[in-house]
Amino acid sequence: MPDETTAPVRGDESTGELISRLSAQSSELLRGEIRLAQAEITQKVKYAGFGAGALGAAGLVALYGGGALVATVVIALAIVVPAWLAALIVTVTLFALAGLLAVVGRRQLAHATPPVPQRAVDGVKEDVRTVKEARHHDHA
């Protein structure tokens, strides 16, 4: 059974009743748009958090890669033995991992921007456009 806010318009309703229903429907519509905006922002914050963490991890791994590179150069210059080759392999591996983490982090941050709840904004714009069109048809 439809309630007062969703019941079809009858021809015998007063202007006051119609305005009351419009107010109730507008409030419900606005609450729905706010819920959508909250959900969108929550999702974007999750992407931003993960992306920032991955970029931080990439920086840390790159720092270790720099340390390994320095150790490799020192070992290679001090003693030309197979030990430097092992250190170089570790260095290259660490930098490759840092590059991978940076790509993943950048992609995650791209999901979080712009921080505007775009679907909610689009929904409000559509609602305003619909109300304006309805008013225009009522005056015609």
pLDDT for res 67: 86
Please state the three-class secondary structure of 60-89 as a single string: HHHHHHHHHHHHHHHHHHHCCCHHHHHHHH
What are the pLDDT digits (tens) for 49-108?
Answer: 888 899 999 999 998 998 888 787 667 666 656 777 877 787 788 789 999 999 999 988
Among 31, 35, 34, 26, CA closest to 5: 26
pLDDT for res 1: 47
Please state whether the predicted TM-score (pTM) of the whole model is above 0.95: no
> 14 or 56, which is more confident?
56
**Which letter does DSSP use for residue 108 in this model?**
H
pLDDT for res 26: 84
Dig out the tokens for 117 from the structure: 């709840």
pLDDT for res 60: 94
Judge whether residue 7 has pLDDT over 70: no
